[in-house]
């Protein structure tokens, strides 16, 4: 679709009869939205066709005019698809651009198309149609991202790595289990999308400017043709509501927040200090001065773009917070934040899916890190509890053992059995199994646990959820 704006010969605006002077050229440029709302053209044409067919079915529009409108809109759709449509700032927006071209093609029939509607309900309808399609596209991208995570989690269900709290080594986990945490985040994100789609998929057309229309229209027919699930019930709300756009940006912000958390971990893991993963070459860049660098630009950009989507959400909330009913020109500012949020979140989900598919863990580095920081200390405390020691007493005994291990410069699991027994007489030779990282993993074999067997079961359940 061409975005070149051609200035057409000056013609009177469809509303200019009220004014004694033409619009100032600066004001014309300032108020025009066609530079960005032309992406609604496909949906504007679809809604106009449904509206025209309804008008003809109700006897409001002559059949010959319907035929002319259908012929003219088909021509316009082809021109737009071929990049040959002459967009004009003089025509303000996508709606008037199409209407002017239609009138040029089919004459007075084009002027009759706007019967029983307003640009207020027209743009609300177009925006909902556009967002509905984008929600569907994003949902598919989310599934692809989740499938990528599941594939990696399945390959590495038993790969030992340290689990962190406060970015300190806490307890052993598996890489597969860690990846499944992100699957769950994205699953919640995916579940929100059809809920938002349902509320988006309500027809505003028929509300006209704000009070409905005196023509005997059939809104249900238009809703059925366009695939809407219901009607916006109140005409004032229908033209002024942008909750659906705000809701989408809120959901997109959550997706971006989750992507940003994952990106942060990838940046850390790929650094030499961690060395847990190797990012695919195709998703890294080099330095213009330091030849050794492999910069994680993709996750860094995803992390940065999260703020961009958050900004779209705040912009829309701020846009709507003080608007009286019904439609106000402020609402022209709803599109660019929404468009940008959609474009950004889709791009980020897609690129992260590609990056993750080529991600390579470094098992030796993960294992070495998991054996630092006394990661099985909690397992030793649990061991003592099972021997009958009160948990607080067990906690104190293990804390003293950790202090001794740190004094010696070794991991807790490396302390001699004789020394361990000095902290609690309940400690016996069977403690070695408890203090091993593998033993720690295997002991957590329950739904939601990090044991390899539990991880594989979780992956199977996750795949079923995606298939539903």
Catalytic residues: 166, 287
CA 392 remoteness from chain centre: 44
Phi-psi sector, 212: left (phi>0), alpha (psi -120 to 50), beta: left
Q: What 3-state class would DSSP assign to 162?
A: strand
Distant-in-sequence contacts of 275-281, Cβ < 8 A, 24+ apart: 275/362, 275/365, 276/161, 276/361, 276/362, 276/365, 276/366, 276/369, 277/359, 277/360, 277/361, 277/362, 278/359, 278/360, 278/362, 279/355, 279/358, 279/359, 280/355, 280/358, 280/359, 280/360
What are the backbone angles phi and psi of residue 277, rounded to the nearest 5°?
Answer: -135, 160
Q: Of 355, 344, 203, which Cα lies nearest the Cα of 279?
A: 355
In angstroms, the CA 354 to CA 155 distance is 17
DSSP letter at 10 equals P
Angle between helices 119-155 and 41-57 (to 10 degrees): 130
CA 198 remoteness from chain centre: 17
DSSP letter at 277 equals E
**Residue 55 structure tokens:** 């008008």
In angstroms, the CA 462 to CA 214 distance is 53
Instruction: Annotate 283-302 with b (16+ C-beta within 10 A) or e (fewer).
Output: bbeeeeeeeeeeebebbeeb
DSSP letter at 5 equals B
Contacts of 295 (CB under 8 A, 6+ apart): 284, 285, 286, 287
CA 273 remoteness from chain centre: 31
Q: Which residue has the tokens 């899916």?
A: 353
In angstroms, the CA 223 to CA 128 distance is 12
Confirm if 69 and 12 have CB atoms less than 8 A apart.
no
């Amino acid at each position: 679709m061409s975005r070149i704006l051609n200035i057409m010969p000056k013609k009177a605006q469809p509303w200019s009869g009220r004014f004694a002077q033409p619009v100032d050229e600066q004001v014309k440029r300032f108020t025009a939205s066609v530079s960005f709302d032309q992406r609604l053209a496909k949906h504007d044409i679809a809604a106009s066709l449904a509206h025209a067919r309804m008008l003809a079915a109700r006897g409001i529009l002559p059949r010959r005019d319907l035929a002319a409108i259908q012929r003219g809109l088909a021509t316009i759709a082809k021109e737009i698809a071929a990049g040959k449509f002459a967009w004009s700032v003089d025509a303000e927006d996508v709606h008037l651009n199409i209407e002017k071209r239609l009138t040029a093609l089919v004459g007075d029939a084009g002027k009759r198309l706007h019967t029983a509607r307003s640009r207020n309900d027209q743009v609300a309808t177009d925006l909902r149609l556009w967002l509905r399609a984008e929600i569907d596209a994003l949902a598919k991208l989310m599934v692809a991202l989740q499938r990528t995570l599941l594939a990696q989690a399945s390959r590495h269900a038993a790969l030992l790595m340290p689990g962190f709290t406060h970015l300190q080594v806490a307890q052993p986990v598996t890489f597969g289990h860690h990846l499944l945490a992100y699957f769950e985040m994205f699953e919640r994100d995916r579940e929100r999308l059809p809920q938002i789609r349902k509320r988006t998929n309500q027809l505003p057309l028929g509300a006209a400017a704000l009070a409905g229309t005196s023509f005997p229209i059939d809104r249900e027919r238009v809703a059925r043709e366009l695939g809407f699930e219901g009607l916006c019930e109140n005409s004032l709300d229908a033209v002024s509501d942008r909750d659906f756009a705000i809701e989408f940006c809120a959901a997109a912000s959550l997706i971006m927040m989750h992507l940003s958390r994952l990106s942060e971990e990838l940046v850390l893991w790929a650094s030499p200090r961690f060395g847990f993963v190797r990012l695919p070459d195709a998703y890294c860049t080099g330095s213009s001065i330091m030849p050794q660098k492999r910069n994680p630009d993709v996750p860094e950009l995803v992390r940065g773009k999260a703020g961009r989507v958050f900004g779209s959400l705040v912009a829309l909330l701020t846009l709507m917070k003080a608007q009286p009913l019904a439609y106000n020109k402020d609402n022209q500012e709803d599109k660019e934040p929404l468009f940008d949020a959609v474009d950004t979140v889709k791009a980020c989900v897609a690129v992260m899916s590609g990056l993750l598919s080529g991600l390579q863990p470094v098992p030796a580095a993960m294992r070495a890190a998991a054996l630092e920081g006394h990661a099985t200390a909690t397992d030793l405390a649990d061991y003592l509890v099972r021997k009958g020691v009160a948990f607080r007493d067990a906690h104190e005994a293990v804390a003293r053992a950790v202090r001794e291990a740190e004094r010696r410069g070794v991991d807790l699991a490396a302390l001699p059995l004789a020394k361990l027994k000095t902290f609690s007489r309940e400690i016996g030779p069977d403690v070695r199994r408890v203090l091993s990282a593998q033993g720690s993993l295997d002991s957590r074999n329950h739904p939601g646990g990090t044991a390899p067997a539990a991880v594989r079961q979780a992956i199977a359940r996750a795949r079923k959820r995606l298939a539903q």
